[in-house]
Each structure stands twice: as C-alpha cells, then as structure tokens.
C-alpha cells in the first residue's frame, strides 16, 4: 500500500512539472511569435527604411557662384575648371606611408603635406574627402592615372577655381572668397539645408564671400545646393549615384565698375599708397574704386602659403587696408568750395567780398598766427581768386566768422561724416568735428582756432576718398545727387540740397573758379591743362600731417617720407556739362596739383575715352 502511494505521488509531481514546462514553452512561444509579427508586419516599413539608409546616403552638391561683370560686360570674375588630386582618408590606414608612396612619383609641397596630415584624422572619422594637390598639371595627372590602380584611396577629380581676371586691380572693390568660419558655416547649413556629406565643386571646397562685392552680394552670387542619392556598400564605397535635385548656379552680378579706368588708376598710382574713386554724375554709380597697394585675390581665394599670407599681414604698406573706403585724410584745400558755399548761404561773403592777403591770419583772441602756403600772400583777394589760387588766409578769415554748429551741419549735408555708398564693404563714415565731440574725446572745449583750421580742411576734420568724390559729385551737379552704389542699374531716388541764398548764378561762378584752377595761368593745377582736350573743374589740396610753428620746422619734417603731406584733388568734367567726378589721394605725395592731379586726369581720360 505504501508503494502505491509513493508511485501516485511521483506521478502527480511529474505531471505538475510537465504542466509547468508546457506553460513555460507556451509563454516563450507566444513571445517569440509576437516578436516575429512585430518585426515582419507591424514595424515593417520602419525597418525597411532603416535598411535602405544603411546603403543609401543623401549628398549635397555645391553650386557654382555667379559671374561678375564690369559695366561694359567685361568679365571680372568667373569659375575655371581644374583638376585636383583628392584622397579618401577613410580607406587610408597609414597617412605617412601613403604620402611616402605617392611622393615617389609626384612632387608634393611640404606645406601641402602638413595640411593633409593636420586634417587627416578628422576627415577619416567623418568619412570626408581631402584634397592633397590642387590644380595639378597635365603631366602630374598622367603620372597618377597610369598608377591609379595602386591607389584606390585617391583619384583625380574635376573642380573649379574662383578666378579673378584682374586681381591686382579689383582686390578691394570686388574682394575675394574663402572658407567659411564657424558662424558662416552655421548660416550656410541652416539656409541651404546641407547634408553631412557634400560633393564639392570648388578646389577650396565650401567658399563664401569674405570681402568686397563677393561679401555684400553673397546671397545673390552663392546659388542653391542640389542633392544626390548615393548607394554605397558595407565598406562605404560608392556603388551608384543618382541626381535628386540639380544645383542652381548663383546669379551673375553686373557692376557699375569700369575696367579701363581701373587700369588707368593702377598705372598712374604706380604702387604708391593712395586711392582713386570716380562716379558717374548721371546716377551716382561708382565707376572706379581703387586702393593701392593691392593684394593677390586668386591666392587668397584658392590657397595661399602661410608664409606669403604672413608677409602680406605684416607688410608696412598695409595692402589689405582699403584706403578708398577707410582711409582718413584731412580734406585740406579741397574743402574750400564747401566753405565758400556756406559763406554765401549765410551772407558772410559774396563774390565781390575781398581781403588783403599778406600771407597769414592772426587770431584776435590770442594773436596766434595761421600761415598761408604762399609766403607773402596773394595780395588783394576775392572769392574767385581765393579758390583759383587756394588762398588759406581768405578762408581762415571766413571760417573765423562762421558758426561751428551751422558749419558742421553744412558739411554733413555735402556728404562728410556719413556713409556715401549703399553697397560698399565696411565703409568708414568718420565724423565731422563739433564742440561736444571734442569735449568727450579730448576733455577740452572748442576753440575758435579749431574752426579756423576747419576752414582750410585741417585740424580735426578728416574724410575718406569716397566722401570726397561724393562731395565733388554734389558740387558738379549743383546740389543734386543719389547715394553712391556699385551694382549696375540699381534704382535710387535723387536727392537735393536746398539752399536759400546760393543761386544758379553762384553755382556758375563756383564752377568757373574751379575750372580756372586747371585752365587759368595762376591756378594750382595749371600743369594739367595740356594733359587733356576738354575743360575740367578741380580743387587741389595738400594735407599736412605735422604742423610747425615756422617754415624751418616744416622743411625739417619733410625729411621723413612718412611725415610728408598727402596730395589730394577733386575734379569733374567735361565742363560745362560734367559726366564724371573723381577724387584722388596720394599718401605723402605733397602736391595735389602736380602729384594727385595727373592721376585724376588719367582716369578721366580713360572714362571719356580720350
């Protein structure tokens, strides 16, 4: 009986274990079939897409930038095809061995190797291509191609260079492109929706406008990226690539710049430090915007050696400094027509008002002497003679009787102390000095002598060459003007300065006095008379950098070339119906008439095709 009970208990225990096993396998089976269902049916589309992504990747395709033209349709900047040696760091195990092997038949510059090695690890991690050699020759291309079977991790690819056809002439006005900094890259990614991988069209890969018109009209010139769908294998090698959307090239930019006048300015300045700006009086379009010395835009845009770049940066000539837009120069005697307009408008003088110029002006308050440039003076001098012969004494006297706050507003109305151009790169508006400025800047009050100095364009008064040409343009067009611009056919509103007492007859006499500066026998620019076949109105200036109490100190100062006076001129012609206005500054050139004047005439001759 006992044996039967034990057998029953064992059988009952076995059945319970069997039931437990059935339940366990049943639950596991349910879970298994649920996962199969989930994978094959419920999440089918999700995993299908994931699988596709494992073998397909979206690639952004870089567009070509727009072409830049001068006002006559001459190409100034374009894109030229070239061939580069491009590597795939993802497939290179040892970059040093790779360089050693490829250098056995190709001459690779030391700096190119250093750049390659410095960028290699990052490019490898990101699976990005890396350019080893730019713009290789046909011979170098052939040497590589015959050995290409040995280098599955490199290839010769067609790329483009941003090509500046006249790099020594338009470096400041057109500017150049370069690789984007972090902020520029972020903007590029957000506005263009770039993918992580990019098919580059340019040797220098991603490029953006850095200075000049390339920067100002970046949105117009840059174009729109396209997209390709690339199929790759498990190792990341391309199997196939199809076009999803074609990249759109940037818009072409038609400028108001004139190629031939820039050539004339470049030749006339002859690498001296200075600037030339010329404007079409009909609409305020800038036809010449030249600063000297210049810099090599092609090298900067497409790759420059560090030692060459450092040499440019450290140069005492400061080639990157845009003197046309940022150079601060005393306007010197070129300001005298503006002072004359103020004097007539305020009833302080007329064309018959005269003084006896004995070569100096004495400040009544303290007896300080302000000397004329001509020892002994100009004798009996009216306004016409004062402009023609540039009498300092006449304008010292007029400025002394002027109200500084009214004079300040008057000069601002003529373009001083404000930006002159609506699409120029980083123009400096400088300032027109007045009592509060001096108090804040120098912690001194305004003296009457400060106003006297302003009357001849010295003292605290400074201007830029582009402000000087706008001022000349306003005078040439009898108070009417438009904002200056570089883009051709830009729609702008004409503005006009309203005068109460300065009449058309006064405009005529002012123009005649400025014509006499060049055409008259006693004019300060009479040497220019035979350099052209048309009439020109002008006003010269000699901007002092260091003033002395006597002529002996002045002569001693001139021994240092860097302390010599700047030479200036503003001019417009042909008279009596002027088409162009021009300003010229030659640093340390001393004489406005004999140094800056010939540069202005060369540019006018070019523009008028003389």
Q: Which two tokens stand for residue 246?
A: 């074609």
**Are the CB atoms for 120 and 91 separated by under 8 Å?**
no
Q: 581 exposed, middle or buried (CB, 10 Å; 0-12, 13-18, 19+)?
A: buried
Tally Cβ neighbours within 10 Å of residue 215. Answer: 17
Tally Cβ neighbours within 10 Å of residue 153. Answer: 14
Residue 34 has pLDDT above 70, yes or no: no
Of 482, 576, 593, 588, residue with least CA distance to 538: 593
Q: Please give, one letter per residue, the 3-state secondary structure of 123-188.
A: HHHCCCCEEEECCCCHHHHHHHHCCHHHCCCEEEEEEEEEEECCCCCCCCCCCCEECCCHHHHHHH
User: Mean pLDDT, to the nearest integer, of 341-346?
Assistant: 98
3-state helix, strand and coil shares in percent for the chain, rounded to the nearest 5: 40, 20, 35
Per-residue confidence (pLDDT) for residue 4, from 0 to 100: 47
Of 456, 488, 479, 288, residue with least CA distance to 374: 456
DSSP string of 371-419?
E-SSTT--EEEEHHHHHHTT-HHHHHHHHHTS-HHHHHHHHHHTTTTS-
Between 105 and 552, the more confident residue is 105
Per-residue confidence (pLDDT) for residue 21, from 0 to 100: 60
Residue 5 has pLDDT above 60, yes or no: no
Residue 208 has pLDDT above 90, yes or no: yes
Positive/negative CA dihedral, 169, 178, 306, 135: negative
Q: Which two tokens stand for residue 103?
A: 């250098």
User: Mean pLDDT, to the nearest integer, of 262-282?
Assistant: 97
pLDDT band with cut points at 50, 70 and 90 for residue 50: very low
The two most distant CA atoms of the chain are separated, in Å, by: 157
pLDDT band with cut points at 50, 70 and 90 for residue 328: very high
For the domain made up of 260-310+323-607, give the CATH fold. Answer: Beta-lactamase (3.40.710)
Per-residue confidence (pLDDT) for residue 547, from 0 to 100: 63
Residue 427 has pLDDT above 50, yes or no: yes
Residue 231 has pLDDT above 50, yes or no: yes
Between 515 and 122, the more confident residue is 515
The pLDDT tens digits of the residues spanning 384-398 come to: 999 999 999 999 999
User: Mean pLDDT, to the nearest integer, of 78-90?
Assistant: 93
User: Please, what is the average pLDDT of the chain?
Assistant: 89
The pLDDT tens digits of the residues spanning 521-576 come to: 999 999 999 999 999 999 999 988 766 555 565 565 666 677 789 999 999 999 99
Report the distance separating Cα 470 and Cα 529, nearest Å. Answer: 24
Per-residue confidence (pLDDT) for residue 589, from 0 to 100: 85
User: Mean pLDDT, to the nearest integer, of 209-213?
Assistant: 97
Between 349 and 588, the more confident residue is 349
For the domain made up of 58-254, give the CATH fold. Answer: Penicillin-binding protein 2a (Domain 2) (3.90.1310)
Weakest mean pLDDT among 33-47, 359-373, 560-574: 33-47
Q: What are phi and psi of 245, to 5 degrees?
A: -150, 135
Report the distance separating Cα 546 and Cα 564, nearest Å. Answer: 8
Weakest mean pLDDT among 177-191, 379-393, 478-492: 177-191
Range with top average pLDDT, 82-86, 261-265, 562-566: 261-265
Q: Do domains 58-254 and 260-310+323-607 have the same CATH topology?
A: no
Weakest mean pLDDT among 15-29, 336-350, 400-414: 15-29
Per-residue confidence (pLDDT) for residue 242, from 0 to 100: 84
User: Mean pLDDT, to the nearest integer, of 159-188?
Assistant: 93
Tally Cβ neighbours within 10 Å of residue 166. Answer: 19
Per-residue confidence (pLDDT) for residue 62, from 0 to 100: 93
CA angle 129, 135, 138 (to 5 degrees): 115
Q: 72 exposed, middle or buried (CB, 10 Å; 0-12, 13-18, 19+)?
A: exposed
Which pairs from 480-484 meet CB under 8 Å and 24+ separation? 481/284, 481/415, 482/283, 482/284, 483/284, 483/420, 483/421, 483/422, 484/279, 484/284, 484/285, 484/286, 484/420, 484/421, 484/422, 484/424
364: helix, strand or coil: coil
533: helix, strand or coil: coil
Q: Which two tokens stand for residue 169?
A: 């002439």
Positive/negative CA dihedral, 442, 448, 452, 454: positive
User: Mean pLDDT, to the nearest integer, of 24-48?
Assistant: 57
Percent of the chain with pLDDT over 90: 72
Per-residue confidence (pLDDT) for residue 20, from 0 to 100: 59
Tally Cβ neighbours within 10 Å of residue 530. Answer: 7
Of 264, 270, 272, residue with least CA distance to 588: 272
Q: How far does Cα 595 stand from its chain's mean position?
A: 27
User: Mean pLDDT, to the nearest integer, of 441-451?
Assistant: 95
The pLDDT tens digits of the residues spanning 448-480 come to: 999 999 999 999 999 999 999 999 999 999 999
Residue 356 has pLDDT above 90, yes or no: yes
Residue 268 has pLDDT above 80, yes or no: yes
User: Mean pLDDT, to the nearest integer, of 40-59?
Assistant: 58
Of 111, 115, 148, residue with least CA distance to 131: 115
316: helix, strand or coil: coil
Question: Element (H or E) spanning 538, and its range?
Answer: strand 535-543
- The structural domains of the chain, with segments of one domain joined by +, span 2-42, 58-254, 260-310+323-607
User: Mean pLDDT, to the nearest integer, of 163-188?
Assistant: 93
pLDDT band with cut points at 50, 70 and 90 for residue 351: very high
Of 251, 249, 257, 148, residue with least CA distance to 202: 249
Report the distance separating Cα 169 and Cα 599, nearest Å. Answer: 15
Report the distance separating Cα 383 and Cα 389, nearest Å. Answer: 10
Weakest mean pLDDT among 161-165, 191-195, 276-280, 419-423: 191-195
């Amino acid at each position: 009986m006992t044996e039967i009970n034990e057998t029953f208990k064992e059988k009952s225990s076995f059945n319970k274990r069997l039931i437990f096993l059935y339940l366990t396998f049943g639950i596991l089976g349910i879970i298994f079939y649920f996962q199969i269902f989930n994978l094959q049916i419920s999440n089918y589309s999700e995993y299908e897409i994931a699988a596709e992504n494992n073998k397909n990747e979206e690639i952004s395709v870089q567009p070509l930038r727009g072409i830049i033209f001068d006002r006559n349709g001459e190409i100034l900047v374009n894109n030229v095809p070239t061939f580069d040696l491009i590597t795939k760091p993802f497939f290179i195990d040892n970059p040093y061995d790779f360089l050693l092997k490829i250098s056995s038949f190709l001459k690779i510059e030391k700096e190119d190797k250093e750049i390659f090695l410095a960028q290699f690890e990052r490019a490898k991690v990101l699976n990005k291509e890396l350019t080893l050699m730019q713009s290789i020759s046909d011979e170098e291309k052939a040497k590589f191609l015959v050995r290409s079977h040995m280098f599955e991790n490199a290839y010769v690819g067609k790329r483009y260079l941003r090509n500046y056809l006249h790099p020594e002439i338009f470096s400041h006005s057109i500017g150049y492109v370069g690789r984007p900094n972090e902020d520029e890259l972020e903007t590029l990614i957000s506005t263009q929706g770039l993918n992580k991988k990019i098919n580059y069209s340019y040797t220098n890969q991603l490029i953006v406008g850095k200075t000049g018109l390339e920067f100002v009209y970046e949105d117009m010139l840059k174009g729109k990226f396209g997209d390709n769908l690339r199929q790759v294998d498990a190792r990341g090698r391309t199997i196939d690539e199809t076009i999803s959307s074609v990249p759109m090239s940037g818009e072409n930019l038609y400028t108001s710049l004139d190629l031939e006048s820039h050539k004339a300015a470049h030749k006339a300045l002859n690498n001296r430090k200075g600037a030339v700006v010329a404007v079409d009086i009909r609409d305020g379009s800038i036809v010449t915007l030249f600063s000297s010395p210049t810099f090599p835009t092609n090298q900067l845009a497409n790759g420059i050696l560090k030692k060459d770049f450092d040499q440019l940066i450290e140069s005492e000539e400061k080639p990157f400094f845009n003197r046309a837009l940022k150079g601060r120069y005393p306007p010197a005697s070129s300001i005298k027509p503006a002072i004359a307009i103020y004097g007539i408008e305020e009833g302080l003088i007329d064309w018959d008002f005269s003084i006896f110029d004995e070569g100096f002006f004495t400040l009544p308050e303290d007896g300080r002497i302000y000397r004329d440039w001509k020892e002994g003076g100009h004798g009996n001098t009216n306004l016409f003679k004062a402009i023609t012969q540039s009498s300092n004494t006449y304008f010292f006297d007029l400025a002394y009787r002027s109200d500084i706050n009214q004079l300040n507003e008057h000069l601002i109305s003529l373009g001083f102390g404000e930006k002159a151009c609506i699409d120029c790169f980083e123009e400096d508006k400088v300032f027109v000095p007045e009592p509060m400025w001096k108090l804040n800047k120098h912690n001194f009050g305004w003296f009457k002598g400060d106003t006297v100095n302003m009357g001849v364009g010295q003292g605290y008064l400074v201007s830029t060459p582009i402000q000087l040409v706008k001022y000349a343009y306003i005078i040439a067009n009898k108070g009417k003007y438009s904002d200056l611009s570089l883009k051709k056919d830009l729609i702008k509103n004409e503005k006009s300065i309203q005068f109460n007492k300065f009449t058309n007859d006064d405009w005529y006499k002012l123009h005649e006095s400025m014509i006499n500066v060049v055409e008259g026998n006693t004019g300060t620019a009479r040497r220019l008379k035979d350099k052209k076949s048309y009439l020109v109105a002008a006003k010269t200036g000699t901007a002092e950098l260091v003033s002395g109490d006597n002529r002996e100190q002045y002569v001693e100062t001139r021994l240092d070339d860097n302390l010599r006076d700047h030479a200036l001129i503003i001019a417009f012609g042909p008279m009596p119906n002027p088409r162009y206005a021009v300003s010229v500054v030659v640093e340390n050139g001393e004489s406005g008439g004999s140094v800056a004047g010939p540069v202005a005439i060369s540019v006018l001759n070019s523009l008028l095709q003389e």
